[in-house]
Amino acid sequence: MRKSLLLAGAVALAAVYATAASAADPIKIGVIAAYSGQFADTAAQIDNGIKLYMKQHGDTVAGRKIEIIRKDTGGPNPDAAKRLAQELVVRDKVDILAGFTLTPEALGAAGVATEAKKFMVDMNAATSIVTEKSPYIVRVSLTLPQVSSTIGHWAATKGGAKKAYTMVSDYGPGLDGEKWFQKAFKDAGGEIVGSVRMPVANADFSAFVQRAKDLNPEAIFVFVPGGAQPAALGKAFAERGMDAKKIKIFSTGEAVDEAALKAMGDIALGRLSGWHYDYTLKSKTNDAFVKAFNAMFKRNPDFFAVGGYDGMHVIYEALKKTKGKTDGDALVNVAKGMKWESPRGPIMIDPATRDIVQNIYMRKVEKVDGHLVNVVIDTVKDVKDPTHK
Amino acid sequence: MLPPIFGVLFDGIAYGMLLFVLSVGLSVTLGLMNFVNLAHCAFAMVGGYVTVTLVNTYNWPFIATLPVAFIVTALISVVFERVFYRRLYRASDLDQVLLTIGLAFVSVAVAAYFFGTLQQPIPTPAFLRGSQQVLGLGLGNYRIFLIVTALIVTVLVVAGLEYTRFGAMVRAAVDNQRMASGLGINVDATFAITFAIGSGLAGLGGALAIEIVGLDPSFSFTYLVYVLIVVAVGGLGSIAGSFIAAMLIGISDIAGKYYFPELGAFLIYLVMIAVLLWKPSGLFGKR
Amino acid sequence: MADVPLTPRAYLQAQSRWTPVEIAFWLATLLPFWLLPDYLSLASQVAITALFALSLDILLGYAGVVSLGHAAFFGIGAYTAGLFSKFVWGAPLPGLLVAAIVSAASGFVVSLIVARFRHFTLIMLTLGIGLLMQEIANRAHWLTGGSDGLQGISINKVLGAFNFDLYGYTAYGYSLAVLFILFLCARRIVHSPFGLALRGIRENWTRMPAIGAPSRAHVRMAFTIAAAMAGIAGALLTQTTQSAALESISFGRSADVLVMLVLGGAGRLYGGLIGAAIFMVARDQFSGIAPQYWYFWIGLLLIGVVMFLPNGILGGLSALAARWRKS
């Protein structure tokens, strides 16, 4: 009831603005992402999130049409991202920058956002420092310290593990995960018995798993990039006789995402993870989101898609508040402190850091109706990025 | 009871076997035809997608799709050989590089268009999941299957080359092309068939690789480097060389990661550089 | 056509004479300032990539050394320039110089190993060394920032007067000027007796020492020069974008520049420039149409060039021109 009232109100307001700014040019949003190359699927899902939001909420905000211009960086190229951001600003005259599959892309474009005073929405890049690089950035995705410190604390307290081993990919996000899991785990009274850093592009994990097994820890924390590696790692655990039902294997969400669970099969049962979104989350907003997403793209949404979706939400709502004004300062000011109900639950843009504040769900892989899913066993509410506390 | 390192070594051998099936075709193409085929992994990807489609859409059993992956890839490759490759046998290496990189680029886009950019999961049959306890070691069923399959392939390829008339023709053409054609061997057709078999093996490798390394459109490039390393270490055109090299890379990769995880990513490059400094034409290379 | 010059000196001079087409080409590089002011940041990256391709041309087109790890030196230059600006001095030109020296030194060290080999072995050694460098840069997280890229780069105004602006006027002007100066150097080098010796090595590696030209020493020299130029290109990219990342040192970049050079036509100095321009503009345009599928069109372009213009665009065009002149 309240929702429909709000909606009616919004429509009425929109009608008022429409008369005020009907002759205005479209609002252009430049989306910079790695549409091609190794991370193409990430970009594709972010893009799907954007498309779905625009389909559901129309392509007009505050009386002005929204136009999306997509640019491909091909991978973690700050130089390409910077050039594309410059071109979007000077040639295409975009009003807002968005997207950013990977941290280097966001860092490359940040300078342009500052210089051109453009509102910039980080829909995925997850290194903490991103939001520090320009006062015009807001982030709607996640930060790795946010997730991994939550997992570390939970593992040592409610998880009941005292001795843990960490296995992470040897690059920025992996090192972040390692650092913050270990810190939180030790702060909560746990002990780190060992750790290993694995090559970023790694095909075979059995050697690393054997090293972990040699030390016989109670819990293991793993971080590997999404794609083919999660399943390979899961199979290596099973083959070396490390049953996730007996030893607690913690990870972030990528390592137990839908594709990984499908590829692993029953050996994934009992795997623990902490993450901010899963398509199986039980809520009205998420049910509707997943249904609409499936109808449009014939696949389930993932956290990339929800990043794109929520990113568009911030943009739409901010534009409504500024009455279609696209001035960077105005947009970022109204985005600060914005709260809403996302498919992932209640979320907020921290007014002080412009970073996301959200629930982290602790999940366990179980079989429900013959399908492997991440079942939520605990919810840690309103988690901030620990580096900016 | 054996210490756990033997289990790790077993995994290394299985990984090496996979690399061997993926790369043996390229070794033959490079050695026999002197053709720099950087689209080799694109053919491997074709095999992978054939298997994925048959398993997921037509509910074929995984094992039954493997020969189909081989045959379809071989047929497709021979079309490309006739249309594109053949015209460049006498062209410079650089033109060959340009053509095959171009083909690999196209393959990435075509795969993304038809299959999407996501990882393709395949449900392997139950008997290939899990592991066997042998002397206290847990040996993955799929890895055992991989090793057996690769050994069968090796035996077939070696026997085919050593004991058949066609094999003798291929060996003659490798050793001296002009002399071979002077003796009435149809070098052109020999090339085409060899190329098809080599690419077909890559397709088989691509299908076998899904369970271990996954499959997405960037496959054309992701494993190219590893395949090139195996070929270089083994020596161009040498099947035994490729086999030994694949084992060496597989085992040193896994053992290295176990004993010196800090060196993890460096190790196979260091092995390759060391081998090439010691034997510039690879372990079994003739030139 | 002029008669065949009789003395070596006259031959070299005839070779290095400027043709009207060349002058027109360089004048045309100034056109973007007026005709395409919205594309200047792309143009600056084209100029940088062209310089990178030019450096590979000296190695590949003249000395016949195929390298699949040339981005190692590009990356060393990029990181050197970044670190120099962060810890020492933000002035661009000294940064270029330091980057050139560091990458030349690394190029010389690498050449001590690779100059002993030829053909496939050489390709694989350069590939292996390139991959090692990339992994080292990733692991030296404390120095390079790892996969997040180097942070804290700050570049002063060029010559104390020109700020790097959003439109890219300074970036293009600066990159183009550096490209032109280094092109003059490269032109001088390939038309010198040393350049001729390199071509001799390309054609016959074993016979050159017999006429008194030490092949290995010459290849080492060429490798060092090419590394220095690649390093300058990398430094330019760092300075114009104020960023340096692992991608600058990757196998992908090594492969791309090789493709661009071969696309344009190796061994002609201009081949790298044309190839870089065509590849990057085509990529920009195709990915503007369909950001997910530009690979397809670029792939078709490469296949088409190989099929219809062997030896690259310039090679094919000059063959066509020769045929046309004959008939």
Chains that touch A (3 or more CB pairs under 8 A): B, C
User: Which of A103-107, A198-202, A363-367 comes out lowest in average pLDDT?
Assistant: A198-202
Instruction: Say what the pLDDT of residue A389 is.
Output: 66
C42 touches chain A (CB under 8 A): yes
pLDDT at A5: 46
pLDDT tens digits for range C18-45: 888 899 999 999 999 999 888 999 999 9
Say if residue C2's pLDDT is above 60. no
CB contact under 8 A, C295 and B280: no
pLDDT in tens, B146-184: 999 999 998 998 888 889 998 888 888 877 778 888 888
Mean pLDDT to the nearest integer, A352-361: 95
Give the model's pLDDT for residue C214.
84
Q: CA–CA separation, C302 vs C312, rounded Å?
A: 9
Contact check, Cβ <8 Å, C147/A200: yes
Residue C294: its chain B contacts at CB < 8 A?
A: 109
Residue A181 near residue A134, CB atoms below 8 Å: no
Q: B102-111, B199-208, C1-10, C262-271: which has the minimum mean pLDDT?
A: C1-10
Q: Is the pLDDT of residue C260 over 50?
A: yes
**Calpha distance C203→C61 (Å, rounded):** 11
- Kindly report the CATH number that applies to the domain delimited by A145-275+360-388: 3.40.50.2300
CB-based contact C303 B102, cutoff 8 Å: yes
Probe site for chain A from C46, C148, C284, C294 (most A CB atoms < 10 A): C148
- Looking at residue B132, its pLDDT comes to 79
Name the most confidently modeled range: A207-211, A265-269, B202-206: B202-206
Mean pLDDT across the stretch C295-301? 92
Here the ipTM equals: 0.89
Percent of chain A with pLDDT over 70: 94
Out of C120, C131, C296, the one facing B109 most closely (by C-beta) is C296
Confidence of residue A119 (pLDDT cuts 50, 70, 90): very high
| pLDDT exceeds 90 at position A55 | yes
Distance CA A258, CA A262 (A): 6
Distances (CA, A) of A219 to A21, B73, C30: 59, 44, 63
Q: What is the pLDDT of residue C188?
A: 92
pLDDT value at residue A23: 44
**Cross-chain Cβ contact C146/A172 below 8 Å:** yes
Tell me C59's DSSP state: I
In this prediction, what percent of chain C has a pLDDT beyond 90? 55
CA distance A220 to A244: 10
Exposure class string for B156-171: b at 16+ Cβ within 10 A, else e: ebeeebeeeeebebbe
Q: Would you kindly state where each structural domain of chain C is located, as residue ranges?
A: 39-250
List, for residues A281-298, the tens digit of each pLDDT value. Answer: 999 999 999 999 999 999
CA distance B203 to chain A (A): 19
**In chain B, domain spans:** 22-219
Residue of C nearest to A42 (CA): C292
Q: What is the mean pLDDT of chain A?
A: 89
Q: Which of A347, A388, A326 is nearest to A118 (CA)?
A: A326
Contact call for C38 and A91, based on CB within 8 A: yes
pLDDT at C4 > cutoff 60: no
Contact B201, B70 (CB under 8 A): yes
Fold for the domain defined by A2-142+281-354? Rossmann fold (3.40.50)
Chain A residue numbers touching C138 (CB-CB < 8 A): 170-171, 200
Q: Residues of C at the B interface (Cβ-Cβ below 8 Å)? A: 60, 66, 113, 117, 120-121, 124-125, 127-129, 131-132, 135, 138-139, 251-252, 255, 258-259, 262-263, 266, 292-296, 298-303, 305-307, 310-312
Which regions of chain A carry the CATH code 3.40.50.2300? 2-142+281-354, 145-275+360-388
Please list the residues that pair with A97 across neighbouring strands. A30, A120
The answer to whether residue A12 scores a pLDDT higher than 80 is no
Query: Counting every residue, how long is chain C?
Result: 327
Q: How confident is the model at residue C254 (pLDDT cuts 50, 70, 90)?
A: very high
Cα–Cα distance between A290 and A97 in angstroms, integer?
26
pLDDT at B257: 86
- Locate A373 and state its tokens: 């899913």
- Structure confidence at residue A340 (pLDDT): 95
pLDDT at A15 over 50: no
Residue A13 scores a pLDDT above 50? no
Cα–Cα distance measured from residue A17 to residue A323, given in angstroms and rounded to the nearest whole number: 7
Mutation target to probe the B interface, by most B beta carbons within 10 A, among C203, C303, C309 is C303
For chain A, the maximum distance between any two Cα atoms, rounded to a whole number of angstroms, is 71
Are C148 and A89 an interchain contact pair (Cβ–Cβ within 8 Å)?
Answer: no
One-character DSSP codes across B147-210: HHHHHHHHHHHHHHHHHSHHHHHHHHHHH-HHHHHHTT--HHHHHHHHHHHHHHHHHHHHHHHH
Task: State residue A16's pLDDT score.
Answer: 43
Asked if pLDDT for residue C14 goes beyond 80, the answer is no
Considering only residues B286 and B235, tell me which one the structure prediction assigns the higher pLDDT.
B235
C16/C4: higher pLDDT:
C16
Q: Which two tokens stand for residue A34?
A: 């790695």
Taking contacts as CB-CB distances below 8 angstroms, the residues of chain B near A200 are: 265
What would the mean pLDDT of A246-265 be, rounded to a whole number? 89
Q: Is the pLDDT of residue A1 over 50?
A: no
Question: C88: left (phi > 0), else alpha (psi -120 to 50), else beta?
Answer: alpha
A21: pLDDT strictly greater than 60: no
Contact A241 B131 (CB under 8 A): yes
Q: Does the beta-carbon distance from A265 to B217 stay under 8 Å?
A: no
The rounded distance, in Å, linking the Cα atoms of A96 and A314 is 11
Q: What is the mean pLDDT of chain C?
A: 90
Region for A17 from its dihedrals, namely left if φ exceeds 0, alpha if ψ lies in -120 to 50, beta otherwise? alpha
The angle at the Cα of A121, spanning A118 to A122, to the nearest 5 degrees, equals 130
The distance of B98 to chain C (nearest Cα, Å) reads: 6
